[in-house]
Chains A and B, each alone.
Chain A
């Protein structure tokens, strides 16, 4: 009754193609933005930033990136961890080589470098599809991790083989390094996530997005109506890797502060981000955020319940937590294989009629 498009008339194609055509959705979106930008930065503490919000935002960016490649363009990738490593090492090399340039520019450049690497590893997609492509991207994952371990130039010949982010400031506030405050970390990630989500939405609703989806749904038909598969697939790899590179750069520089490539960007990361988009919903911007929230929040929640409330020993809780998260994923996929985004859409369709049955 309250939530519906009736009475919300559109008089131009511009209005009709907007992101939130229903008024209530639009208000909800503005309200979330107002809270995220206007309230949370003033009340956030270290625990909420480090355990919940910062990893959520960073993984949401990575999930957006993988969703563009896998959900929209239909190209399966298991190289996410490797591409995040490219972003992280790129930003590290840039930060240490050009200390006077703004860290924000370095993060964007790291995204650009990752995009170039992504295109390179996307070339096999022109010949192979599906599982075979997944295996090819898996090769990228192992190769990149091996490369960053093996060549000391990448970690500036440090004795531990780790990379450590030096302190860099934006407008006088530290955003990397040990002195960074919680609101600064949060705001950098929030601005990046907001801008990239807006970018992803624009790209996917326009002609480039339609070309990606055409390739995903039926590549031969797409080619016959005029989609150049080379450009469509490689542009998906480029844009996707740009997002993932930025996520990797933020994860290392803002969140972790120091990283060892095998540990921070191993194959586990690739699977984690893949789970996020499958649970969140393939081919959905909302799904990328929902999936990231699920995978970041669920372990935190379980830990709080098991250790905090039930007083279980920490190591037992950690193992049980893995089992519960795994079981939840399986259950979830059986109940709703199209993910949280689909559940959300179904809820909205129900809401349009509520409280009437028809």
Chain B
């Protein structure tokens, strides 16, 4: 399946732009184990791209390659027109890639507000002395960024838990706070690792709505991994299907659904 490189228009009429991230022939090994084998795909501006596959297919490894946590042995990662060499994770964050984690990785000892404010750390440049005196640039930045964070808090409807320590929150809310922290960085590319894992139907619906709203409001490009097939097919514009570290399908949800390899490997199980 090939699409024009300039972008395309989705079924619901959203204009998708050019390539933001391109992965070319990625191979990732851990010792003798090949986690990802020769995979290529791209992520376009403004789209919701999903990576699906059975357990152990290499989805999370793929996401870790994109987020710079793993450096692949072979292949090239291109982001916004530049080839990305091996980088430290915090350098990748500075490029504008934010992510959430499958097992929530919030800072439990800090309040919701502080957690989300931490997401904006690359926007705050006040020097040490200014911070120590709480004067000038530090105070100004703090208040400006607080305003931006409050918008996200409103958007995700978590106003009432602003000052609660994250450790005390229930699971569903923690997931939402983690999304808020990733959004606070105003990322060019947002990676979501199983955003709906372990949620009940209601929470899943809320989360789906937030993901769609984020994409719609801020035009954020999103790449997500998810197990719930119904959710993936409803949310995403294009889907990559992985199995045993290989790519076995790539296209719109409808195309993927009718792909025989995919049905055999993954969807077929559901029909048995």
Contacts and interface: CB of A to CB of B under 8 A. Distances in A.
B44 interface: no
Contacts of A199: 132
A357 interface: no
B231 to A, nearest CB: 24
A207 B146 contact: no
A211 interface: yes
A217 B131 contact: no
A349 interface: no
A224 interface: yes
A355 interface: no
Interface string B108-119: 111000100111
Contacts of B15: none
A213 B110 contact: yes
Given A207-B121, A208-B128, A217 B147 contact: no
Contacts of B147: 13
Interface in B33-81: 67, 69
B138 interface: yes
A135 interface: no
Given A203-B131, A226-B185, A227-B121, A217 B90 contact: no
The secondary structure that dominates the B interface is helix
Interface string A28-48: 000000000000000000000
Given A224-B99, A226-B90, A210 B134 contact: no
The secondary structure that dominates the A interface is helix
A162 B146 CA distance: 53
A223 interface: yes
Contacts of B128: 208, 235
Nearest to A18: B134
Given A17-B146, A227-B121, A213 B93 contact: no
Interface string B86-119: 0011101110001101000111111000100111
Contacts of B131: 202-203, 206-208
Contact of A225 (B109, B114, B118, B124): B118
Contacts of A218: 105-108
Interface size class of A (residues with CB under 8 A): 20 to 34
Contact of B110 (A217, A225, A227, A235): A217
A25 interface: no
A214 interface: yes
Contacts of A208: 128, 131
A221 B117 CA distance: 14
A214 B118 contact: yes
B186 interface: no
A12 interface: yes
Best-surrounded residue of A226, A228, A229 (most CB of chain B within 10 A): A226
A220 interface: yes
Interface in B131-149: 131-134, 138-139, 141-143, 146-147
B255 interface: no
B105 A221 contact: yes
B126 interface: yes
B122 interface: yes
Contact of A221 (B101, B109, B132): B101
Nearest to B68: A224
A346 B219 CA distance: 44
Contacts of B89: 220, 223-224
A14 interface: yes
B107 A213 contact: yes
Contact of A213 (B88, B99, B114, B139): B114
B238 interface: no
A202 B133 contact: yes
A20 to B, nearest CB: 14
A217 B93 contact: no
A225 B133 CA distance: 26
B107 A221 contact: yes
A252 to B, nearest CB: 25
A237 to B, nearest CB: 14
Contact of B185 (A205, A225, A228, A283): A225
A222 interface: yes
B247 interface: no
Contacts of A235: 128
B195 to A, nearest CB: 16
B144 to A, nearest CB: 9
Nearest to A218: B105
Contact of B143 (A13, A214, A217, A222): A13
B108 A224 contact: no
Nearest to B105: A221
A12 B117 contact: no
B217 to A, nearest CB: 21
Given A202-B132, A225-B185, 6 more contacts: A13-B143, A202-B131, A214-B107, A217-B107, A220-B89, A226-B90
8 contacts: A206-B126, A208-B128, A211-B121, A213-B110, A216-B107, A225-B185, A226-B94, A226-B185
Those 5 A-B pairs whose CB atoms lie nearest each other, nearest first = A226-B93, A221-B105, A217-B107, A202-B134, A13-B146
Interface of A: 12-14, 17, 199, 202-203, 205-208, 210-211, 213-214, 216-218, 220-229, 235, 283
